[in-house]
Chains A and B, each alone.
Chain A
Amino acid sequence: MTQNAEQIALFDRAILTRAARDAVLKLNPRTLMRNPVIFVTEVVAMLTTVVGIEEMVHGRGAAFSLAVAVWLWLTVLFATFAEAMAEGRGRARAESLRRARTDTMAKLILDPREPHMFKPTPAPDLHKGDLVLVETGDLIPSDGEIVQGIASVNESAITGESAPVIRESGGDRSAVTGGTQVVSDWLVVRITAEQGSTFLDRMIALVEGAERRKTPNEIALDILLAGLTIIFLIAVVTIVPLGLYSGTNLGVAVLAALLVCLIPTTIGGLLSAIGIAGMDRLIRFNVIATSGRAVEAAGDVDALLLDKTGTITFGNRMAAGIYPVPGVTERELAQFSAMSSLGDDTPEGRSIVTFVRDRFGLTVQAPDGATVVPFSANTRLSGLDLPGQSIRKGAVDSVLRAIGVTEPPAAFTDAVRRVAGAGGTPLAVSVDHRLLGVVELKDIVKPDIKERFAALRRMGIRTVMVTGDNRITAAAIAAEAGVDDVIAEATPQDKLDYIRKMQAEGRLVAMCGDGTNDAPALAQADVGVAMQTGTQAAREAGNMIDLDSDPTKLIEIVEIGKQLLITRGALTTFSISNDISKYFAILPAIFVGAYPGLQALNIMHLSSPESAILSAVIFNAIIIVALVPLALRGVRFRAIGAGALLRRNLLIYGLGGILAPFVGIKAIDVVLHAFHIFS
């Protein structure tokens, strides 16, 4: 797996330059309207600028108004810059994708009966349902379904994986993607997407953020921020009459400063960047989400439906133990098992040889004059014929039939039953007509999976194993892996029913799948991760696509979703907590003219009212830039349970949010004082 986007440094020079330019373009009030807090800041900045210029024209001291205006503009600019930075990182990824979308000439088949008669047609002119021929070296012109042929396809343009994959008609590997290249053989492909709406096009749009719509959570947060903005707007506007009553005429610059410090500019400025960065983090994991809503839902997931094979277990059964009958030593049985498996090239067969070597230090070879009996799906056994000795290993009933034993010894049948009862697969080993014992094949659970499930449980997420195995086998593996629930002998309908049942209880369910028959469940799940290697139907049904086709990633996806929500919550809390300390800077400064006694509230001992107000405004602007890396990287998620997580984050971002401005504003005031600015 090459992770294209991971190579993008947090502050890549090219992205920085572009972001700086975009930040200015984004100042357009019509674009900024989307963001109520920053829009209000911009309006206030304009107003202050006008007032500052007017003061200058009339020869009054305009320095303070202009200084405030400059910092208000910078506040807006820093916010747009944060968004532009986040977008820039997505765009860099889109650029690399776009290179794959060249305008190739497609080979349009006019008569399906004669696939090798074609008319060269520019790819953009293809329509849904057209048949095209793709041969060695050709780029596949658009998304489609293979109707004929088998070929190896290089999909590195999309997945970053350079090893070619096999694509063939029928089954679960029949989808091909526009922009990928056939490296051997040929295919007849039915086009399934119009130009402009292909997988590649959609991916580009997604990573660029062109289709970005606000997620439900963002909308709710926006409402909160807009509400706070209006409340503080009322508070600041009504200070004018209250000030007049108290004998102080407050200038526009002062009011502007107070307003902008009170409204939640920090989170307002970083909100969209956080969302974009969340998508970007997924992309770095080679997962493309079709919407921000899906990423958010991933954080909310209550249950993960995980396919046993490939996710929980390695997916192929391997030798895990041997059980000789009385009178046979383990070592003997091991040796015969390995010898009889020399003819078995299946992973199971090879695992027996490996197991014997690793466990008993025995390396077996076929002696001279021996005949290898290869494994076949018909006989379901393999073996080795030595002069005067015939060794067999295979499925219990096959071996019994082959050696003509109808009533095996009790010790043997006991062993078979024990292995099967524990969820394993017993294989019989015989020499001539004598049964030597049983080899146990087991689905091996991945080594660290149990810890990961435990971590998920601490986050309140149930893991559900889905398998086609029978109940006994499934239960044994489930116990070993530590999942919360099992769907054994699962049919696609079972999965769908299970998801519906969970959802009826109000839970959010995530699953991953690749086959066409997974599509209904993928569509039903709140987070459906389709494998890139899967069928077109599955890819359409899911709301995320894993380019590496690694089902284990579901766990990371959940963590990324949580991280997104945590980052948003942390910065909101920080932003709102800031207000308390900002009051201590600004309120005494603006009212000390009316009531000198209020100087007592200037607990930070800021050098002058102007310096105090300006320091608060500067702090308010700079904090946005200072938090850009956090917004882009995200607050780290820790699987320590909600209570502990809240305590931790509340301490850092809540208490920190109250204290940080005291330190920051004081420091800025000291600097201003050192340079004799407004002091």
Chain B
Amino acid sequence: MTVSGWAYIALITLLTLGAAIPLGLYIARILKGQVRFLAPVERGIYAICGINPDRPMQWQEYTVALLLLSVIHVVILYAILRLQQYLPFNPQHIGGMSPRLAFNTAVSFATNTNWQAYVPEAQISNGAQMFGLCVHMFVSAAAGIAVAGAVMRAFTASSIASLGNFYADLTRITLYLLLPVSIVAGLFLVWSGVPQSFAPFATVHPIVGGAQTIGIGPMAFQEAIKEFGTNGGGFVNANSAHPFENPTIWTNILENVLLLVTGFALPIAFGSMIGKPRQGFVLYAAMAIILGAGVIGAYAAESHANPLHVAAGISAAPGNMEGKETRFGIAASTTFNVSATGTSTGAVNSFTDSYMPLGGLVPIFMMQLGEIAPGGVGSGFYTIIVFALLSVFVAGLMVGRTPEYLGKKVQAKEIKLAMLSFLILTFFILVGTGYTVISKTGLSSMANAGPHGLSEMIYAWTSASENNGSAMAGISADTPWLDYGLGTAMLFGRFAFLIPVLAIAGSLAAKPKLPASSGTFPTDTVLFTGLLIGVIIILGGLQFMPADTLGPIAEHFQLFAGKTY
């Protein structure tokens, strides 16, 4: 661990947490319909689509609108991926994807997961990237934030079942948040040297002789929304470790901040929406503390050299540099990967598979906690709200009243829905991993043995179920079992979680907002922040401890005992 490393972490912290506050206030204004600088465009969209932006929707209608949109998008994306050889912007003449890979990819991008079972350079055309994947990077992100907005309205409403208008939310978030930020960030990336080109791959002849093909394409603007929408699907296979996607430390800082900032901004927006900024800050602080602990943990783990490398006399670096870009170093690499797994961004700038076992445990655990530090755009917020409801429920009884969060009573219905959503995540992560590591079909996808192989598989199932999209790699992702299995996990991880959340929002919105008194459980205190973190770890993380013990934790102790697999 170095001073410059700590300074880098401090810089990212400061930029992210600082930028999140004005951004959050801005998002609150967008959600309230107060941002109007593109009003003519907005009105035009509503007119063409026949949307009445002021028509309120109950949770059922809101959910159906979102599901319908997602289904249509999955189908269109599936078609694009299957038929890309017939479509324009395909300078490399890349053929259509197989049905199972197209299914996996279509689901992956429609669910904001961005799990990439394909090799971008070889299997996807520029056109499919732009009109297929990139569109989803906007839409899935906007949908996530829209749901977060709906959940926020559940707490501003009193005895009103309405959660807002999904189409209006989607349009406004895209127009006023995602597009402007992506354009500005994209221009910065172009200026920094990220390609934005429709030309075929460049062929160069290096001085050592031979020929080398260098993949380029319309990368820069996709890179911007890839981070800002917590998507993560890299234009190239190496993702943000590739010098074209992430050429300098400055682009690295920008990308790191971009993928975190909306997650932290949403609780601020929430505080503003409900008129109680402290309530938002509590969630913001809990997110920051968990993420901070993760970054520090991973940084510490990676700052130890691999004992086997040391024994072999091949580690000159002060820590574990295997799989890391020398231009970023340990601090910037671990910060980026932990940030990406704390959100639902599938991006990486270093190879998690090469991390030390405990360094690899951190990203896994960050995802298993439910991606709430700060989580994907929208999903992080609504997930931490579910945790807040559970915290209030478990400990709230201890003040001698039926638990209530922000004036809304937390009762059987909310608990049932909350438990259901967590149950589904647990099921896919553990049952998926469990079946893979003993079945013949599953084992055929694994390239590594021992606890490390298990870690990779836990990582894959966790990443898919939690809609993260990053991978530890070391597995053959494009196999029938993993394509369909992980595809299903992504679908359920997104929608089987989101539907109960919207149902909770609907139920809460319909409840009367109770006035707070001195007998009310206080949820804007340091104590509640601590409680929330405890509940996130106990209810969100404990069920994965046995699996993690056999994976990264066992690997750690075995490695330091000198045993490898």
Binding site for B on A (CB under 8 A): 216-217, 219-221, 223-224, 226-228, 230-232, 234-246, 258, 262, 296, 299-300, 302, 457-462, 505-507, 561-563, 565-566, 568-570, 572-573, 576-577, 579-580, 583, 587, 591, 594-598, 600-601, 637, 641-643, 645-647, 649-650, 653-654
Contacts and interface: CB of A to CB of B under 8 A. Distances in A.
Q: Which of A227, A228, A234, A238 has the most CB of B within 10 A?
A: A238
A587 B545 CA distance: 9
A461 to B, nearest CB: 6
B522 A646 contact: yes
Interface stretch (B196-204, B304-312, B398-406): B398-406
A615 B394 CA distance: 27
B83 interface: no
B48 interface: no
B419 A227 contact: yes
- What is the interface of chain B mostly: helix, strand, loop, or mixed? helix
Given A242-B546, A654-B395, A235 B412 contact: no
A572 B400 CA distance: 13
Contacts of A650: 395, 398, 527, 531
27 contacts: A221-B397, A223-B412, A223-B419, A227-B416, A227-B418, A228-B539, A232-B543, A238-B547, A239-B550, A241-B438, A242-B437, A242-B546, A506-B407, A565-B401, A569-B396, A572-B397, A573-B398, A580-B542, A591-B550, A594-B550, A597-B557, A597-B558, A601-B549, A642-B401, A642-B518, A642-B521, A643-B527
Q: How large is the interface on B (under 10, 10 to 19, 20 to 34, 35 or more residues)?
A: 35 or more
A598 B438 contact: no
Interface string B508-538: 0000111101111110010100010010001
| Shortest 3 CB-CB contacts between residues of A and residues of B | A460-B519, A569-B397, A597-B557
Given A216-B411, A302-B519, 8 more contacts: A232-B543, A234-B431, A238-B431, A238-B547, A242-B433, A299-B401, A302-B517, A570-B397
A457 B542 CA distance: 39
A235 B425 CA distance: 12
Contact of A239 (B547, B556, B557): B547
A504 to B, nearest CB: 8
A225 B422 CA distance: 13
A646 B527 contact: yes
Most buried by A among B396, B397, B423, B513: B397
B300 interface: no
A125 to B, nearest CB: 44
Contact of A246 (B430, B512, B550): B550
Interface of B: 158, 390, 393-402, 407, 410-412, 415-416, 418-420, 422-423, 426-427, 430-431, 433-435, 437-438, 451, 454, 512-515, 517-522, 525, 527, 531, 534, 538-539, 542-547, 549-550, 553-554, 556-558, 560-561, 563
A643 B396 CA distance: 10
Nearest to B443: A245
A402 B422 CA distance: 84
A646 B554 contact: no
Contacts of B420: 227
Most buried by A among B399, B402, B553: B399
Nearest to B562: A597
A240 B438 CA distance: 10
Q: Which of A217, A226, A462: most chain B CB closer than 10 A?
A: A217
A7 B560 CA distance: 64
A647 B530 CA distance: 11
Contacts of A238: 430-431, 433-434, 547
B394 A246 contact: no
B233 to A, nearest CB: 29
A164 to B, nearest CB: 39
A562 B401 contact: yes
Interface centre among A220, A239, A568, A643 (most CB of B within 10 A): A220
Nearest to A652: B398
B401 A300 contact: yes
B406 to A, nearest CB: 13
B422 A231 contact: yes
B395 A231 contact: no
A640 to B, nearest CB: 10
A647 B527 contact: yes
Given A459-B519, A595-B554, A647-B527, A587 B546 contact: yes
Classify the interface of chain A: helix, strand, loop or mixed: helix
Contacts of A654: 395, 531, 534
B510 to A, nearest CB: 12
A591 B437 contact: no
B554 A220 contact: no
A596 B558 CA distance: 8
A224 B545 contact: no
A601 B545 CA distance: 12
Contacts of B433: 238, 242
A300 B402 contact: yes
Contacts of A506: 158, 407, 512-515
B417 to A, nearest CB: 10
Contact of A565 (B158, B397, B512, B563): B397
Given A223-B419, A591-B550, A646-B521, A217 B402 contact: yes
B543 A234 contact: yes
B412 A566 contact: no
Contacts of B545: 583, 587
A224 B420 CA distance: 10
A219 B412 contact: yes
A255 to B, nearest CB: 10
A595 B396 contact: no
A597 B557 CA distance: 5
Contacts of A244: 437-438
Contacts of B542: 262, 579-580, 583
Contacts of B398: 566, 569-570, 573, 645-646, 649-650, 653
A591 B554 contact: yes
B396 to A, nearest CB: 7
B402 A296 contact: yes
B397 A246 contact: no
Contact of A576 (B435, B437, B538, B561): B538
A230 B424 CA distance: 11
B423 A230 contact: yes
Contacts of A572: 394, 397
A561 B400 CA distance: 7
Which of A231, A563, A566, A576 counts the most B-chain CB atoms under 10 A from its CB? A231
B549 A224 contact: no
A557 to B, nearest CB: 13
A457 B527 CA distance: 22
Residue of A244, A258, A460, A637 with most partner-chain B CB within 10 A: A460
A572 B430 CA distance: 26
B520 to A, nearest CB: 6
Given A565-B400, A642-B522, A646-B527, A240 B434 contact: yes
Contacts of A576: 394, 538-539
A594 B415 CA distance: 38
Given A242-B437, A595-B554, A461 B519 contact: yes
A526 to B, nearest CB: 11
A637 B423 contact: no
A155 to B, nearest CB: 33
Contacts of A226: 419
A643 B527 CA distance: 9
Contact of A566 (B399, B554, B560): B399
B550 A242 contact: yes
Given A573-B394, A595-B557, A598-B554, A645 B427 contact: no
B400 A223 contact: no
Contacts of B410: 220
Given A246-B451, A591-B550, A646-B398, A231 B557 contact: no
Given A507-B514, A569-B397, A577-B538, A239 B415 contact: no
**Which of A240, A244, A462, A576 has the largest number of chain B CB atoms within 10 A?**
A576
Contacts of B554: 246, 591, 594-595, 597-598
